[in-house]
Amino acid sequence: MQSSNELRDIVNGWIDGSISNIHTAMPGKIIDYDASICQASVQPVGKFKIQDGRNLPFPIVHHVPVIFPSGLGGTAGVTVPLRSGDGCLLVFSESQLDDFLNGGDSDNERCHSLNDAICIPGLYNRGCRSASPSDVCLFNGGVKMVISAGGITVTGGDLVVEGISVTKHTHTGDSGGTTSAPK
């Protein structure tokens, strides 16, 4: 007859074994990104333990939908360029995503699988850049646009509206010539 401690250890082993295959969310690194279809190959950060006790790196997950803020059925949103090595958060769906992404429903019982990941870019171990807690900030390299309650400020670059540069445009002058560029 087994003791209650032995039974507890057996049950805990079953539970631990089952839980180790349930994925919810984890950091990842983008390996490559196809902007034309918003899908990436992502390397989950960390390792998993196999039955013989060895720890192995998670496999690269391919064809992962990349999620950017959007609305209006995908007709309005914000995207950012991504490159190999960029950090992200991988979130694993409670149900399989294949049929949903192809416009249908599924009765597939797969859940929390590495195959059903979505990628939310922007997770870095060094934090993020923020201009202000109360302003919207768009930045790319050395150019930054800050949208505040008081207006829009662009630094490090030029604002071009319908092909007209704000910093380099000229006008026809009153005496027939042209004005100099704005100062």
State the CB neighbour count (10 A cutoff) for residue 58: 17
Gap between the Cα atoms of 55 and 175, Å rounded: 79
β-bridge pairing 151-155 and 143-148 = antiparallel
Q: Looking at per-residue confidence, does 22 or 81 come out higher?
A: 81
Domains of the chain: 4-125 (2.40.50.230), 129-183 (no CATH)
Torsion angle, CA of 113/119/124/127, rounded to 10 degrees? -120
pLDDT at 127: 66
* Mean pLDDT value of segment 26-43: 95
Of the chain, the percentage scoring pLDDT greater than 90 comes to: 27
Q: What is the pLDDT of residues 74-133, one digit of tens each?
A: 888 888 899 999 999 999 887 777 777 777 666 667 666 778 889 999 888 776 666 577
- CA distances to 1, 18, 48, 96 from 55, rounded to whole Å, are 34, 17, 5, 26
Q: Put residue 150 in one of left, alpha, beta given phi > 0 → left and psi -120 to 50 → alpha.
A: alpha
- Tell me, rounded to whole angstroms, the distance of Cα 174 from its chain centroid: 52
Report pLDDT for 21: 63
